[in-house]
Structure 1
Amino acid sequence: MTLHIQKFLVGVVVMGLVLLDSGCAVMPTPLTQEEIQQRVQEDLAQLTQYQEPVARPITLFEAMARALKYNLETRVQGLKEMVTHRQLDLAHYDMLPKVVADAAYNGRSNFAGASSRSLETGQQSLVSSTSSDKNIFTANLALSWDVLDFGLSYVRAEQAANDVLIAEEDKRRIANRVIQDVRSAFWKAVGAERALGRLAFLQDWVTQALGEVHLIRERALADPLTSLQYERELLSAQREIQQLYQELSLSRIHLAELMNLDPGEPYELAVPDHPPLVSKVSEKLEDLEYRALMNRPELRKVDYQKRINAKETKAAILELLPNLNVYMGGNYDSNNFLFHNNWLNYGAKVSWNLLNVFRHPVRLQVIDAQEKVLEMQSLALTMALMSQVHVSVAQYHAAMKDVTTGKRYLETQMAIAEQVQRAWSLNRLSEHLVIREKMQGLVAELRYESALAKLEMAYANVLAAIGEDPFPTDITGDGVEELAVALQERWEWLERPEVFAQIHPTDAQTQAPTTQSQGAGPQHQDTVGQSQEADALSQEPEAQYQEAGGLSQGPEVQSQETVAQSQETTTQPQETTTQPQETTTQPQERVNP
């Protein structure tokens, strides 16, 4: 018997050494090139998978719809929200009783026998005997319910429900930011589209003019200083045009990223007309501040965190109570020596961790400190969001002024270009002066398009600052076209005068159309301060640009048309008609190349 025990112990020691050696043999394994390549291929295949293809020019609202539906950042936040829902479902199951099934098999090499000894005489009273088989199979099914665990699980489920609402507020915040970026990138890309044709034509003309100036300077056909100054003017205007156009055209790549399109995938934009220059934002900043404090997702997130912290107080009180455990189960034992091989057992047990009494005050201090942190965080956010409302409104009005000034500057520059074009057609001015004025006109147009894009982004910033959701609630089940229609209806509602009219804390609860987010809170209505100056300048500048000679025709064709148009434009304002008279004196000081 002793030999068998020794062999068994040796086997156990050897097995333990083998397992210990295998555990120590685990080494870090870096990724192979094949694994990295496989990951890259899978990621590239899934980037634009299950997306509706681009079949027509993309409008503003379709771009917004594609961003809300396919943007990877919004999809990541949507998945995070789904995780919180699953965690809430899991918390519901934690409140159920525990039902545990157990089965076991036990065997030994000999019978388990024993004898007894008298405590009074110290002599053996019974012969050695056994009451169990060598091999025994046991099974049981037990149900237990812990009252304290049920209470704690209920509190944790309430906290998980607030985590779901926090995830929804984070989703609102990210969606608002994506909408701002889409509107800015779209209008910048549209501005680049509008100027692309004229830029290509003018670029060829400027290149030819620079070559002529360089040739004149080399052959000493004119004053070198005059030629160099003219070349500097052309290069300066050309550089500014390239910078502005690059800023606008790069927005096309950013827009594709926001819509989750392949950066190399070609797509067209539906170029809309310029929006009317009417102020959409009220001067009642107090009402906008109240709207922001009611609706902003950052403050709502802190409110939900306060709820969670308050539930933690309930959990601390529950942990202080004794625990009652009720159990019941059925059992089976294959031992043939038992009188009953099947039986039921039940009972109740009370337990109490006495150290929780000393732990409870410290736990409450931690909860109270967390509450103070949340209160201070709420105050800090309140001040920051109120300042953000003021900044966004100021930026909007500044952007409106920039657009108004840019529009007037563009119209003035177009009038100057028209007068210079006519004088050139009558051989009164040099072609170089015409090129310079047309370049200045293109610079003015690009600046105007950039200002329009900033104005649209500024308005989206105002809506985001006051917590107004520019998108419908459900953005997962609809197609791109349906979502674009819903977005258009939503924005048409947001741009109505009554949206920014008479917002007060007593009547801030208004309703939006059916496509509005239900979680957006009270909808704002503030007075529209319409800009009379901007409304008077809402006429499109392209018509005047084309009347000024445009850039799609050569000098020979334009010279004939401008002579015929000179009689139709005799009603030009006195300010614009006097400017060409000053410019006509310039060719007398310059050498006509």
Structure 2
Amino acid sequence: MTGPLLAVLTTVAVIGLSSCAIKPIPLTTDEVRSRVQEDRAVLTKDQEPVSGPIDLYEAMARALKYNLDARVELMHKMLAQTQLDLSHYAMLPRLAANAGFDGRNNFTGGVARSLITGNQILEPFTSSERNIFSADLSLSWNVLDFGMSYIRAKQASDDVLIAEEERRRVANRVMQDVRAAYWRAVSAERILPFLKMLDEWVKSALEKAQAVQDEKLSTPLVPLQYKLDLLNTQRYSQQLFRELSVAKLHLAALINLPPGQEQEMKLMVPEGEARTLSLPLDMSVLEDRALEARPELRMIDYRRRINARETKAAILEMLPSLNLQAGGNYNSNAFLFNNNWAAYAARASWNLLNIFRYPARAKTIEAQDKVLHTQNLALTMAIMSQVHVSVAQVAQAKKETSTAKLYHDTQSQIAEQTRLAWRTARLSEQAVLRERVNQVAAQLRYDVAEAELQTAWASLLAAVGEDLLPNDLTQEQSVSDLALEVRTRWAKSKELLK
């Protein structure tokens, strides 16, 4: 009988093992297509539609609400908060409820034998029924686990703060990118038509210059120099066209507009702020502000605090563990004198090897703190350098903007005087065309200089850790309300940096 039984068991085992074999199953085309459709539907779901021209602060507000990088960091913060809430439950006692059924086909029983004579002194007896129901409800609390859970909860609270600082860092970077992209998009919206016009003028002027050269109406050097000036202007305009043609697309991506809608997006041209942007004379003010406000340094501070609490955890692990337990029990066995009873216990245990592990653990914690401290010093030096570089860039950008404006105004006057002289036949059409080209190029340079100034100022705000992110930002807040708050905080930031 053993042979057939063994064969049956072997067959069952083989079938069970073969059914547990797992093979990799790649995604089907329909599954991938379904995922793509779902993602495209969710990308811009529940977004406020664009109902008119977008100003700078509305663009910032839309980026704060809808930018996917910012939303990812918001999800990270929510996850960290959820993990903190979960860690609170680890400090509670353990309350366990158990119920069970035990049965057998015959009675359990036994006999007794004398240790002196070796004779059986009792008839076979049983003290248990064949079918027994049992249940218990016990409350246990490990004092050492409570201490460890408390430390882990404190560390989890620091993780929440780290996630918030990371969210601030990403939001400030997004604000910097939006500000730079918005000004470039404004320049593109205003300049691209002029670039097309300029390209037509340059082509016409090149044809006329070539005709003058072919007909030898002047010395060969004059039309060649004129053509070279025109080609330099054309090369500059083509370079600008290449850079500015994608400016709106970049801005639309930052504020999470669907691709293709950037062409319909209208922007409000903000007033130039070159005269209102001022810098403090004392650089130490900006340095102190940056070292206090930069989220990267705060994140390291929180990580060092987490590491310091790890020392307390290592000390707790060396202590004995005390486990307290109490509960109620029930058993349906009719042979028991009491079917219901309460039980309580206290047990202590001590892993002595943790004492020998502590020195190595302490060295690891100390080494980690040194690493974090060194990172803090390196980041401090980098941030101070960023502040100085950003201030120098803003100062230089202000000079370049002032020079570009003066150049533009002067060139406009020259173009007007040239036009008047041409109308009185004192200058050739070639000279008028050259000055018109120079006037458009001057306008381009002025707009680009203004955009570069705004980019430099945004970099300075990011370098000093100026936070434009509202503390009570919620997804329910409207774009208009958020834009108003960002505008207010931006105005305050300019005052604080004076």
TM-score, normalised relative to structure 1: 0.79
8 Å CA contact retained: 1:188, 1:249: no
Q: What residue number does 2:487 align with?
A: 488
Structure 2 counterpart of 1:79: 75
Mapped to 2, the partners of 1:202 and 1:288 lie a distance apart of 43
C-alpha distance in structure 2 between counterparts of 1:105 and 1:217, whole Å: 109
Aligned positions of 1:555-574 closer than 5 A: none
2:381 corresponds to which residue?
A: 383
- The corresponding residue for 2:39 is 43
Distance between the aligned counterparts of 2:365 and 2:81, measured in 1?
25
**Aligned equivalent of 1:348:** 346
2:99 to 96, 103, 128: 103
Shift of 1:437: 2.2
AA partner of residue 483 (structure 2) = A
Q: Does 1:396 align with 2:388?
A: no
Partner of 1:413: 411
Q: Residue 248 of structure 1 contacts residue 450 of structure 1 at CA under 8 Å; is this kept in 2?
A: no
Cα distance change on mapping 1:101 and 1:13 into 2, 3 Å = farther
- For the Cα contact (< 8 Å) 1:463–1:470, is it kept in 2? no
CA distance in structure 2 between the partners assigned to 1:172 and 1:321 by the alignment: 40
- State the one-letter code of the partner of 1:195: I
**Residues 68 and 175, structure 1, Cα contact 8 Å, conserved in 2:** yes
> Would the aligned equivalents of 1:319 and 1:356 in 2 still touch at CA under 8 Å?
yes
Contact 1:329 1:345 survives alignment (8 Å)? yes
Q: Which of 267, 270, 279 matches 1:269?
A: 267
Selected match of 1:167 from 151, 163, 173: 163
Residues 143 and 327 of structure 1 are in contact (CA less than 8 Å); yes or no, is this contact kept in structure 2? Answer: yes
Amino acid at match of 2:154: E
Residue aligned with 1:495, SS: helix
Q: Which residue of 1 aligns with 2:333?
A: 335
Aligned counterpart for 1:20 among listed residues 17, 23, 45: 17
What is the distance in 1 between the residues matched to 2:207 and 2:106?
110
CA, structure 1 residues 334+8, in 2 after alignment: closer, same or farther (shift >3 Å)? Answer: farther
Equivalent residue for 2:365, pick from 364, 367, 376: 367
What is the alpha-carbon distance in structure 1 between the residues aligned to residue 140 and residue 330 of structure 2?
18
Give the Cα–Cα distance (whole angstroms) in 2 for the partners of residues 281 and 221 of structure 1. 56
- Alignment of structure 1 residues 37-436 onto 2, 5 Å: 37-212=33-208, 230-265=226-261, 266-436=264-434
How much identity, in percent, do the aligned residues show? Answer: 52
CA pair 8-147 structure 1, distance change in 2 beyond 3 A: farther
Deviations 1:109-166 (Å, cap 9, x if unpaired)?
3332333333223333333333323332222111101111111111111111111111
TM-score, scaled to structure 2: 0.93
Which amino acid in the other structure matches residue 21 of structure 1? S
CA distance in 2, matches of 1:46, 1:433: 57
The answer as to whether partners of 1:245 and 1:446 remain within 8 angstroms in 2 is no
Aligned equivalents of 1:8 and 1:361: distance in 2?
Answer: 58
Question: Following superposition of structure 1 onto structure 2, how do residues 569-580 of structure 1 map, counting pairs within 5 Å?
Answer: none
- Bigger Cα displacement from structure 2, 441-450 vs 285-294: 441-450
Taking the aligned partners of 1:359 and 1:202, their CA distance within structure 2 comes to 76
Question: Offset of 1:22 from its aligned partner?
Answer: 2.3
Q: For structure 1, which segment, 226-235 or 99-108, has the greater mean C-alpha deviation from structure 2 after superposition?
A: 226-235
User: How far does the alpha carbon of each residue in 1:205-260 deviate from its partner, in whole angstroms, 9 at most, with x for none?
Assistant: 44444455566777888877765654444333122112113323322111111101
Q: CA deviation at 1:12?
A: 4.8
- 1:105 CA displacement: 2.2
* Separation in structure 2 between the aligned mates of residue 262 and residue 432 of structure 1, nearest angstrom: 46
Equivalent-residue separation in structure 2 for 1:418 and 1:242 (angstroms): 26
Which whole-Å CA distance do the structure 2 matches of 1:340 and 1:97 have between them?
28
Tell me the CA shift for residue 168 of structure 1. 0.9
Name the stretch that deviates more: 55-64 or 298-307.
298-307
- Whether the aligned pair in 1 keeps the contact of 2:274 and 2:450 (CA below 8 Å) is no
The aligned amino acid for 1:74 is A
Residue type of the partner of 1:45?
Answer: A
Give how far 1:383 is off: 1.2
Is 1:470 the counterpart of 2:468 in the alignment? yes
Displacement of 1:484:
0.7
Q: Which amino acid aligns with 2:371?
A: V
CA RMSD of aligned residues (A): 2.3
Letter in 2 for 1:493: K
Instruction: Assess, with a 3 A threshold, how the Cα gap between structure 1 residues 144 and 15 changes in structure 2: closer, same or farther.
Output: farther
